[in-house]
Amino acid sequence: MVYTISGIRFPAVSPLCNRSRSNFTGNRNSNISLLPTKDSFSRKIFAGKSSPDSDSPSLTVAASNKILVPGSQGDGSLSLTDQLDNPETVLEDPQGLHDVDNQTMENDKKLKDEENFVESIRGYNEVQHEQESAASSLVGDDSRAQGKKASVPIAKTITIEKDEVRPRIIPPPGPGHGIYEIDPLLNNHREHLDYRYGQYKRLREAIDKNEGGLEVFSRGYEKFGFIRSDTGITYREWAPGAKSAALIGDFNNWNPNADVMTRNEFGVWEIFLPNNADGSPPIPHGSRVKIHMDTPSGIKDSIPAWIKFSVQAPAEIPYNGIYYDPPEEERYVFKHPQPKRPKSLRIYEAHVGMSSTEPKINTYANFRDDVLPRIKKLGYNAVQIMAIQEHSYYASFGYHVTNFFAPSSRCGTPDDLKSLIDKAHELGLLVLMDIVHSHASNNVLDGLNLFDGTDSHYFHSGSRGYHWMWDSRLFNYGSWEVLRFLLSNARWWLEEYKFDGFRFDGVTSMMYTHHGLQVAFTGNYTEYFGLATDVDAVVYLMLVNDVIHGLFPEAVSIGEDVSGMPAFCIPVQDGGIGFEYRLHMAIADKWIELLKKKDEDWRMGDIIHTLTNRRWLEKCISYAESHDQALVGDKTIAFWLMDKDMYDFMALDRPSTPLVDRGIALHKMIRLITMGLGGEGYLNFMGNEFGHPEWIDFPRGDRNLPDGRIIPGNNNSYDKCRRRFDLGDAKYLRYHGMQEFDRAMQHIEETYGFMTSEHQYVSRKDEGDKVIVFERGNLVFVFNFHWTNSYSDYRVGCFKPGKYKIVLDSDDAIFGGFNRIDHSAEYFSFSREQDGWYDKRPRSFLVYAPCRTAVVYALVEDELEPVKH
């Protein structure tokens, strides 16, 4: 008898053998598989070299030869751009660059030893190539009988459609000087920036020389983990701290003496398992596997670091690695090409597990069939999926990753995820992945923490390797093998699953040794270019953007940075970090700040400044709220605005309340002005488009603290861990009007493309009238935030002459408004000859601006089609 999880078979029988377990492994209910097993002692172990590394905190290949060092320092001045309508000159901080500290000078001296480092591993690639080119006959009976070592070729077939074929070339580093032309104030910190770019170039050269280039280096998944070939399976793992290692699993009855691995001089353990006599693979698809190691911390069984799938069996706490290699006929084959990247991104942020209307964990299949069509209908052109990488703790929202190459098994199998992505592509949607390379779970049983029994394996040792606020481990971006692991991880998701790009989480934490904690960034350049900058991490970000944009030119990279790091979204060849977009995180914080104030205390200039305060030529993704604001302990915008009235007064057959009327009006205005002025892209977290009530609370039990206190849970309830899409669809509820307005916003942007227009001008920010007027593209946006005053014949400036017409009106009855504006009216502009300039605009026209209303006007000659309801 067997039971199944996500298509994986598990035995339900008593164990036939006992194995000693340390406290690292916990207990298993079953220790063997009912699938056929082989005589594990008849297999031969074959060792081969892998790439170099050590557990040193700096980038190393041999333990004593460092080629990447942290640090440099400098200072500078504020150069963040101000409002679009009135940029101000910011005075330069007169203080110049500090002298480079002694540590940096010493590190620069060490860099001269690079040739020695290169010599130490000069022949690595050649040796590896020779070993992996060994004929399969070397693994036959004769070689085993003679005790010869052999290595099997790594065979991987990648099918690419004809229209997808492109050269796999990552451009070499450029001069790195473009940032100084874009922002001359960066010249004040040229020593730090040139040092940073020099580190990047040295690393690129070292990778080229010793790994065959970044393209080869980023295919670590073809060397590490489980590699299937025609003759068997090779398993490699980098664990330099381990004293011994063995591969265990269902296939060998979890016998740690059956398949002992061999270590090379770089700390890489390896074993080759030949095919069975009948040609079948030595490890059946779906088998549980782990690596058994004797480490400085004791005996432990770990899930392989490069595992492609892991599952938590019923009634068990630890996860198990799964050897996932379905037969060809069961593998999902992509049918649809990836869409071309749109000019402007309208992103729907989603979490598959909590995307059901029912209190349960949703599946990839249900998300594919139910949620993707909804996203398409709403008018978004991209979906950003959270919590893809496997994470043992569901309530971490996917940010405490345990298995970096494995999709979360809670929602289905890897092939289920591929089917979801393919369906999105069929609908014309980009699929972005919320990828976590800023930290990792501190879970020792399931994750990378103490993987080889040492504190400094994948992470920095000591306090530098621990994030005290997130309770997680921090990567050592100066380690050669950590770079291979993370670069390969990014490429894996783009290559294998055909994701269209990434949103990199927690980038601010990566770029600074203080991780942005208890630091108020003011924009002064000394905050960005000094000893607090983690140069290793910044160089890693430059490398990963090289991989993304070099190998996948259509892919999108978005960085979550709250600090405002200059040159964050400038190409690497120009000296930048290489992201395409920065998440404009200050906007959401500003709205929460304003919602805590009275309406009369809102300052129009403050709103405009926050929305437009971004760096020139560096694109931003704006959002009024994301998943952060929806978590328990915080409130969504709708809940801030309407609070408990959302429970009783959202039905159209019942009278509204002033709180609900205000909330619905401001909810629409906040979202529209954020999209209109906040950036070159827009993001919305699922459900917030219709003002989803309440908060997100993942299922959790009571938590007992060491001091005896108890933090109460929610009885492991999923009630607040779902999305009530039925509320937005119910035409008898006021939620429906807010949802229709959000859909109309997306339609307007799709029609006019205003987010990426080069023409943008704020002509009015009237503190008395509480009115904001701005142009973006050929549209004129008029916002009246006043709580009681409506204005007839209100004059607004414009640039182009002609007839204007309403294309979006937040007061429309279909959007839950009061229908105070006549949509059949036409608005003709006055020329400067007729009535002079107005608000520094050559032309103007008169409008009616009701209180708490936003209206968008378009030139009739440019109007493709007004919004249809």
CA distances from 50 to 122, 223, 518, 851 (A): 13, 8, 41, 68
Q: Tell me the C-alpha distance between 589 and 309, whole Å.
A: 37
CB neighbour list of residue 707: distance below 8 Å, 6 or more residues apart: none
Q: What share of the chain is helix, strand, coil (3-state, %, to 5)?
A: 30, 20, 50
| DSSP-derived secondary structure letter, 632 | T
Q: Are 432 and 556 spatial neighbours (Cβ–Cβ below 8 Å)? A: yes
Q: Tell me the C-alpha distance between 494 and 167, whole Å.
A: 16
Q: Tell me the C-alpha distance between 462 and 243, whole Å.
A: 22
User: Rg of the chain over CA atoms, in angstroms?
Assistant: 29
Q: Which of 349, 416, 481, 560 is catalytic?
A: 560
CB neighbour list of residue 850: distance below 8 Å, 6 or more residues apart: 784, 790, 811, 818, 820, 821
Q: Determine the straight-line distance between the first and last CA of the chain, rounded to whole angstroms.
A: 56
Amino acid in position 517:
L
Amino acid in position 304:
P
539 HSE (CA, 13 A, CB side):
31
Which 3-state string (H, E, C) describes 745-780?
HHHHHHHHCHHHCCCEEEEEEECCCCEEEEEECCEE
CB neighbour list of residue 524: distance below 8 Å, 6 or more residues apart: 75, 76, 77, 78, 93
Decide: helix, strand or coil at residue 852.
coil
At residue 653's C-alpha, the angle toward residues 651 and 658, to 5°, is 65
Q: Are 478 and 486 spatial neighbours (Cβ–Cβ below 8 Å)? A: no
Structure token digits, residue 770: 């509480």
At residue 386's C-alpha, the angle toward residues 433 and 389, to 5°, is 75
Q: Tell me the C-alpha distance between 231 and 144, whole Å.
A: 14
CB neighbour list of residue 636: distance below 8 Å, 6 or more residues apart: 625, 629, 630, 688, 691, 692, 695
Decide: helix, strand or coil at residue 407.
strand
Q: Are 225 and 310 spatial neighbours (Cβ–Cβ below 8 Å)? A: no
CB neighbour list of residue 281: distance below 8 Å, 6 or more residues apart: 228, 232, 233, 275, 325
Structure token digits, residue 442: 């501190």
CB neighbour list of residue 493: distance below 8 Å, 6 or more residues apart: 388, 433, 435, 499, 502
DSSP codes, 90-137: PPPP---PPPPPHHHHHHHHHHTTHHHHHHHTTTHHHHHHHHHT--GG
Q: Are 43 and 259 spatial neighbours (Cβ–Cβ below 8 Å)? A: yes
Decide: helix, strand or coil at residue 452.
coil
Decide: helix, strand or coil at residue 635.
coil
Q: Which of 505, 527, 574, 775 is catalytic?
A: 505
Q: Are 548 and 502 spatial neighbours (Cβ–Cβ below 8 Å)? A: yes
CB neighbour list of residue 81: distance below 8 Å, 6 or more residues apart: 87, 612, 613, 614, 615, 616
Note if 767 is an active site residue.
no
Note if 99 is an active site residue.
no
Q: Are 586 and 562 spatial neighbours (Cβ–Cβ below 8 Å)? A: yes
Q: Indicate which residues carry an active-site annotation.
A: 505, 560
